[in-house]
Chain A
Amino acid sequence: RERERERERGGGGERERVMLGRMFTMGNVLRGTRAYSTGRSYGNLQDKDRIFTNLYGEQDYGIKGAMKRGDWHRTKDILSLGRDAIINEVKKSGLRGRGGAGFPSGLKWSFMPKQSDGRPHFLVINADEGEPGTCKDREIMRHDPHKLIEGCLIAGFAMGAHTTYIYIRGEFGLEADRLEEAIAEARKEGFLGPNACGSGFAHEVYVHRGAGAYICGEETALIESLEGNTGKPRLKPPFPANVGLYGCPTTVTNVETVAVAPTIMRRGGDWFASFGREKNSGTKLFCISGHVNKPCTVEEEMSIPLKELLERHCGGVRGGWDNLLGVIPGGSSVPVLPKDICDTVLMDFDDLVSHKSGLGTAGVIVMDKSTDIIAAISRLSLFYKHESCGQCTPCREGCPWLSSVMDRFVAGNATVDEIDMLQEITTQIEGHSICALGDAAAWPVQGLIRHFRPEIEQRIAQYHSAGANSIGAR
């Protein structure tokens, strides 16, 4: 199957490796066993197993409320276990990055140098939640900020970082204010500062607000933006763990990944790994938007069947399950899945990859039969065109092309062989850019062509039969 994908993209092994390195763990590709073959079903997470107990903001978000819910409990003892113990526990838990790439977190945190060579280490929290369909980090930051702050301390300690910067998108004004409040409260209690939690380890957390750029959610672009430049990504290698913020070893992680770390330490990596399938463990915040009866953010077990997620928590698809057209399961950067796959797919990294999509950030966009799927994907192409930083030619030139051709597909003002042409353009963008925004722009269009080609052809036939037949006219 790997060779088939290679041939499809017409590329050599190099691009494959770049692609895999970007989206998926090395070697963790494609084949996943069905949940039911192991005799266990996933989903129906119980409240006692939920980590984000104030997800809907019904309790006090301040430090008193947080401590009543268990935050900052025995943090000093956790730190006294030592750096290696913390990283091992995170490795044991099987936690994979919650920011979209799903890279194993324990492994990523272990890339930081064990001994500083004189340069300070930095932990940077990626709170630039810009992926369409995703709105989970804002709930953590406005209702449970202390989970994040404590996570910064524990993760920072594990990496030898005395400073954390939380890069929050500029539009999240309330969330940034809540974070500042939480940091001030934590400082006042001595949980942060020169002697964090009495452990002897100094740690400071600062909030840095962005100014509206989706590309700054990419880790090296984020670092560039933090340094005061335009948010244009850097080439990797060198990786941020070697040369990152201000040229120092840096780890950039997502809010949710760091916010679950204290609970993993307190309840054990084994507990976290007991949820979800192997290599896809833990609980996850799912944001379900679009044509469901109750769009919401909910914490559920990994590997929950998509159908159960929508029916249990969102009141089902508008008009009934059979009214479903397609679902984008992981934020706009992953390909759309048609209904027949949605009937049985599990919401975890591996099963979605095996269906040529991805879990991404678990921003589930549900579309029913009333949706003009071509217009929906075309709007995403416009999004990527707007958000492209402009550094790499394939993305800077290719994204506007995708957008303008998709615009014509919405009207039907095209010819059928232009569908294959568009597919070819996406393969020329994918894997040829410095960062993954090019890939992210290509994938939705590929998903549309793969699963909804008949709609596009029908639209084209309709347009031409209606009489207008000039390619130049719009």
Chain B
Amino acid sequence: LAPAAGLAPAAARRLATNSHDHFNIHRDTTDNNRDVPFDFTEANYERVAEILARYPSNYKQSAVIPLLDLAQQQNDGYLTLNAMNKVADILEMANIRVYEVATFYTMFNRSKMGKYHLMVCGTTPCMIRGAPGIYQALCDHLGLGGYGETTKDGMFTLSEMECMGSCVNAPMIAVADYTEGAEGYTYNYYEDLTTQDVIQLVERLRKGEKPAKIGSQHRDKCEPAGVVVGDKWVAMEGTETLQGPPPGPYCRDLAAVKKAREEAAAKKAAEGAK
């Protein structure tokens, strides 16, 4: 059965929660149908127990997002039908409640993913700082027609994400690494990118290497140090703030504060009695 039968993939994707899923309904494929089993590994069951311990025992349903995330990490980056059903079993929830959650949140993938999930932030602060250029460079380099596609060798899936909370370090991408199951799972931001940076990053991943630097590729964190402009990092000196070692512990005289409050309360009580 073809995914979203009757609709071209691009059109089907416009109706889904994120840029790479097809539709919010489940469509059987050979890898993802009622007969393809899923269970957590032993090591992951320990994680399940640790997660469940955070919530009141009569509100196990709270663990649905962390458990679905764990299932996705274990399962090459996507949730099969039985992965969702297994989570429903563990949490004693109706299956439909888990499906609701899995189709609502954008980080849950329900179609097969590449080994690395490249997510470009496309919202306005990144858009005005070069995100379309990053998108175009990735499409051209990987031979993809647009967001939502996976490369033919199954290495990379390209998606667009809404604001990733890294606006001063724009433009940026996030990379989810599904090559080593839950134990080796990483989800890292790579920020302050030029098109050369992002292509180099992708090539290192293709060779099975980890990227050289997580976070900003050209400055330390979010300090004022420059910006990517015209597809180049342009440094600008001068951080004015937080110069020198930070001051040490300080606390005002709390005993005096307490005394003042007690005196004020006593005074009020005395006036009230009058």
Instruction: List residues of A whose CB falls within 8 A of some B CB.
Output: 45, 47-48, 50, 53-59, 67-70, 73-74, 77-78, 80-81, 85, 129-135, 137-139, 143, 169-174, 206, 208-214, 225-231, 246, 266-268, 287-299, 312-315, 318, 332, 363, 365, 367, 371, 375-377, 379-380, 383, 386-387, 389
Q: How far is the CA of A137 from the CA of B229 in the complex (A)?
A: 26
Taking A56-B223, A134-B165, A226-B62 as contacts, is the C-beta distance between A173 and B101 under 8 angstroms?
no
Q: Tell me the minimal C-beta distance from B224 to chain A in angstroms.
A: 4
**B166 — nearest CB in chain A belongs to which residue?**
A135
A132 to chain B: which residues have CB within 8 Å?
Answer: 123-125, 162-163, 167
Question: In the bound complex, do residue A230 and residue B124 qualify as a contact, i.e. CB atoms below 8 Å apart?
Answer: no
Question: What would be 7 A-B contacts, judged by CB atoms less than 8 Å apart?
Answer: A135-B166, A135-B167, A171-B174, A209-B65, A228-B65, A313-B241, A367-B128
Bound together, the chains give a CA A24 to CA B93 distance in angstroms of 39
A-contact 0/1 string along B35-60, CB 8 Å cutoff: 00000000000000000001110011
Say whether B65 contacts A67, CB under 8 Å.
no
**Chain A residue with the shortest CB-CB distance to B103:** A230
Per-residue CB contact flags for chain B residues 156-175 toward chain A (1 = under 8 Å, else 0) read 00000111111111100010
Taking each of B97, B187, B234, which has the highest tally of chain A beta carbons within 10 Å of its own beta carbon?
A: B187
Q: Tell me how far the C-beta of B210 lies from the nearest C-beta in chain A, rounded to whole angstroms.
A: 14
Q: Let me know if A296 and B224 touch, CB within 8 A.
A: yes
Q: Flag whether B243 is at the interface (Cβ < 8 A).
A: yes
Residues of B within 8 A of A129 (CB): 165
Given contacts A73-B250, A227-B62, A289-B125, contact A211 B69 (CB under 8 A): yes
- Interface bits B260-271 vs A (CB < 8 Å: 1, else 0): 010000000000
- Contact at B162–A246, with CB atoms within 8 Å? no
Q: How far is the CA of A287 from the CA of B166 in the complex (A)?
A: 10
Q: Does any Cβ of A come within 8 Å of B74's Cβ?
A: no
Interface contact A170-B69, CB-CB below 8 Å:
yes
User: What chain B residues lie within 8 Å of A73 (beta carbons)?
Assistant: 249-251
Given A56-B242, A212-B107, A380-B123, do A228 and B59 touch, yes or no (CB 8 Å)? yes
The verdict on B193 contacting chain A, using a C-beta distance below 8 Å, is no
Residues of A within 8 A of B170 (CB): 289, 295
A289 partner, pick from B65, B162, B167, B241, beta carbons under 8 A: B167
Check if A70 sits within 8 Å of B169, measured CB to CB: no
Chain B 56-72 interface 0/1 with A at a Cβ cutoff of 8 Å (1 = within): 10011111111011000
| Inter-chain contacts of B23 with A (CB < 8 A) | none
Taking a contact as CB atoms closer than 8 A, the residue among A169, A174, A206, A292 that contacts B54 in the complex is: A206
Which residues of chain B are near A367, meaning CB under 8 Å? 128
Q: Which residues of B contact A209 (CB under 8 A)?
A: 65-66, 69
**CB pair B261 A85 closer than 8 Å:** yes
**Given the contacts A56-B221, A211-B108, A383 and B123 also touching, CB distance less than 8 Å:** yes
Q: Mark B199-236, 1 if CB is under 8 A from A, else 0.
A: 00000000000000010000011111111010000101
**CB of A254, distance to nearest CB on chain B (Å):** 13
Q: Cβ of A171 and Cβ of B125 under 8 Å apart?
A: no
**A314/B229 in contact, CB under 8 A:** no
Q: How far is the CB of A356 from chain B (nearest CB, A)?
A: 20
Q: Looking at A132, A227, A380, which has the most chain B CB atoms within 10 Å of its CB?
A: A132
**Is A174's CB under 8 angstroms from B188's CB?**
yes
Residue of A nearest to B227 (CB): A295
Closest B residue by C-beta to A138: B165
A169 in contact with B261 (CB, 8 Å): no
Most-contacted residue by chain A among B63, B167, B252 (CB, 10 A): B167
Q: How far is the CA of A318 from the CA of B241 in the complex (A)?
A: 21
Judge whether B246 is part of the interface by a CB distance below 8 angstroms. Answer: yes
On whether the beta carbons of B257 and A85 are closer than 8 Å, the reply is yes
Residues of B within 8 Å of A375, CB to CB, are: 127
Residues of chain A within 8 A (CB-CB) of B106 are 211-213
Taking a contact as CB atoms closer than 8 A, the residue among A58, A133, A210, A229 that contacts B167 in the complex is A133
Provide the residues of chain A in CB contact with B55, threshold 8 Å: 206
Contact B56 A296 (CB under 8 A): no
- Among A70, A169, A171, A210, point to the contact of B249 (Cβ < 8 A): A70
CB neighbors of A among B82-132 (8 A): 91, 93, 97, 100-101, 104-108, 122-125, 127-129
Contact between chains at B168 and A81 (CB < 8 Å): no
Q: From residue A234, how far is it (CB to closest CB) to chain B in Å?
A: 16
- Nearest 9 pairs between A and B by C-beta? A228-B61, A53-B246, A211-B105, A294-B224, A212-B106, A212-B107, A296-B224, A73-B249, A289-B167
Bound Cα distance from A211 to B124, whole angstroms: 21
* Residue of A with least CB distance to B61: A228
A379 partner, pick from B59, B61, B123, B166, beta carbons under 8 A: B123
Docked-complex contact A173 and B123, CB < 8 angstroms: no
Name the contact of B252 in the complex, choosing from A266, A290, A292 (C-beta under 8 A): A266
Q: When the two chains form their complex, are residues A228 and B250 in contact, meaning their CB atoms are under 8 A apart?
A: no
Given A68-B248, A77-B251, A213-B104 contact (CB < 8 Å): yes
In the complex, A227→B63 CA distance in Å? 8
Chain B residues, CB < 8 A from A297? 168, 222
Task: Supply 9 further A-B pairs (C-beta < 8 A) apart from A129-B165, A213-B105, A332-B123.
Answer: A132-B123, A173-B188, A228-B62, A228-B64, A266-B250, A287-B168, A294-B225, A365-B128, A371-B128
**Is the C-beta of B6 less than 8 angstroms from some C-beta in chain A?**
no
Q: Which of A74, A231, A294, A387 contacts B162 (CB 8 A)?
A: A387
In the assembled complex, the CB of B123 is this many whole angstroms from the nearest CB of chain A, namely 5
Q: How far is the CA of A206 from the CA of B53 in the complex (A)?
A: 10
Are B124 and A365 touching (Cβ within 8 A)? yes
Q: Complex formed: what's the CA distance from A318 to B230 in Å?
A: 12
A230 CA to B101 CA, complexed, in Å: 5
Q: How far is the CB of A378 from chain B (nearest CB, A)?
A: 9
Residue from the set A135, A293, A375, A387 with the largest chain B CB neighbour count within 10 Å: A135
Of A55, A227, A313, the residue contacting B240 (CB under 8 A) is A313
Contact partner of A211 (CB less than 8 A), chosen from B68, B168, B214, B220, is B68
CA distance A57 to B100 in the complex (A): 39
Q: Are B254 and A81 in contact (CB under 8 A)?
A: yes
Residues of B within 8 A of A135 (CB): 165-169, 222
A169-B165 in contact (CB<8A): yes
Residues of A within 8 A of B221 (CB): 56-57, 139, 143
- Encode B128-167 as 1/0 by CB contact (under 8 A) with A: 1100000000000000000000000000000001111111
Distance between Cα atoms of A266 and B253 in the complex (Å): 9
Q: Which of A57, A173, A290, A294 is within 8 Å of B125, CB to CB? A: A290
B247 adjacent to chain A (CB < 8 Å):
yes
